């Protein structure tokens, strides 16, 4: 099996579904990662990193690229593929004021770029952002739209297009323990299509997260990371964003 994850910034893969990615990589499957930007607008959270050496922009992007490459090596993924777009920034008002940011790039053009990579990698499974962008980041939402479009268009250019498109999500009760709106960013248990027990990979997930030192902070602060990301080392949940090969013969069977 070939699995392709498509995310917007370095560290998305480690916080959202590192356990699933490393599980399948450890089982001998090829796991690829596309990263749309280098996270040039991130906020440095590690006191040992001199912010004057890594201001927002290309310098920070180069640092975060190295962090992502290290995390991918820890997880057993292929070398990450960068699309070379610019991080829009967060929150929304920051992103809206950055016309060069990814969220402002033409959606069809982004789809075309993704489709070219999908045709080359030929994954059976794709993983990407849900419609809410996990927690509402404008780049995440823009990439979600492009990923869904590319998933369905793949059937026009490939004889063996990907079968599944999955979105990592957090359960409503998990989001309720964070600063985010559980009604918007949480998902009910009945909507979950796949649950992955990631406890056997907890040490690997932890190492991958900490490889993103500029964003995760020092190791002694990892307890705060766990508080901010409930379930990080326990279970990963996915909803189904797309499936090929499933037919519905009669809608009458859906009557209640």
pLDDT in tens, 170-182: 999 999 999 999 9
Q: What is the CATH number of the domain that holds 21?
A: 3.40.50.10320
Within 8 A by CB and 6+ apart from 229, the residues are: 15
Answer yes or no: is 206 within a domain.
yes
Q: Is residue 213 part of a domain?
A: yes
- pLDDT in the model for residue 121: 98
> pLDDT grade, residue 255 (50/70/90)?
low
Residue 249 pLDDT level (bands cut at 50, 70, 90): confident
Alpha-helical runs (H) found in 87-239? 92-96, 107-121, 133-136, 138-157, 172-175, 182-185, 202-211, 213-216, 222-228
pLDDT band at 156, cuts 50/70/90? Answer: very high
Structural domain contains residue 253: no
Where residue 248 falls among pLDDT bands split at 50, 70, 90? confident
Residue 245 has a pLDDT of 87
pLDDT band at 246 (very low <50, low <70, confident <90, very high): confident
What confidence tier does 130 reach under pLDDT thresholds 50, 70, 90? Answer: very high
Q: Report pTM.
A: 0.96
Of 84, 88, 100, 163, the residue nearest 133 (C-alpha): 88
* DSSP state letter for 179: S
pLDDT of residue 247: 80
Q: Is residue 92 part of a domain?
A: yes
pLDDT tens digits for 195-212? Answer: 999 999 999 999 999 999
Flag whether pLDDT at 256 surpasses 90.
Answer: no
Q: Is residue 254 part of a domain?
A: no
Q: What is the mean pLDDT of the chain?
A: 96
Residues in the chain: 256
Range of 186's domain? 2-244
Residue 85 belongs to some domain of the structure: yes
Tally of structural domains, the chain: 1
> What pLDDT does residue 253 have?
63
Contact 149/111 with Cβ under 8 angstroms? yes
What's the mean pLDDT in 5-24?
99
């Amino acid at each position: 099996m070939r699995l392709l994850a498509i995310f917007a910034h370095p560290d998305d893969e480690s916080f959202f579904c590192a356990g699933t990615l490393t599980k399948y990589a450890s089982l001998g499957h090829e796991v690829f990662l596309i990263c749309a930007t280098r996270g040039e607008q991130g906020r440095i959270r590690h006191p040992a990193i001199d912010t004057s050496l890594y201001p927002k922009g290309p310098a920070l992007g180069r640092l975060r690229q190295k962090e992502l490459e290290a995390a991918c090596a820890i997880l057993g993924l292929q070398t990450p593929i960068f699309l070379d777009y610019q991080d829009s920034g967060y929150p929304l008002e920051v992103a809206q004021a950055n016309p060069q940011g990814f969220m402002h790039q033409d959606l069809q053009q982004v789809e075309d770029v993704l489709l070219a990579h999908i045709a080359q990698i030929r994954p059976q499974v794709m993983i990407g952002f849900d419609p809410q962008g996990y927690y509402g980041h404008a780049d995440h939402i823009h990439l979600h739209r492009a990923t869904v479009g590319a998933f369905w268009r793949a059937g026009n250019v490939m004889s063996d297009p990907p079968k599944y498109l999955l979105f990592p999500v957090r359960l409503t009760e998990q989001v309720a323990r964070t600063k985010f709106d559980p009604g918007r960013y949480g998902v009910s248990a009945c909507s979950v299509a796949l649950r992955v027990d990631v406890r056997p990979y907890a040490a690997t997930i932890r190492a991958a997260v900490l490889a993103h030192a500029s964003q995760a902070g020092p190791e002694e602060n990892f307890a705060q990371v766990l508080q901010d990301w409930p379930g990080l080392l326990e279970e990963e949940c996915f909803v189904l964003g797309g499936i090929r090969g499933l037919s519905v013969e009669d809608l009458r069977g859906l009557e209640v």
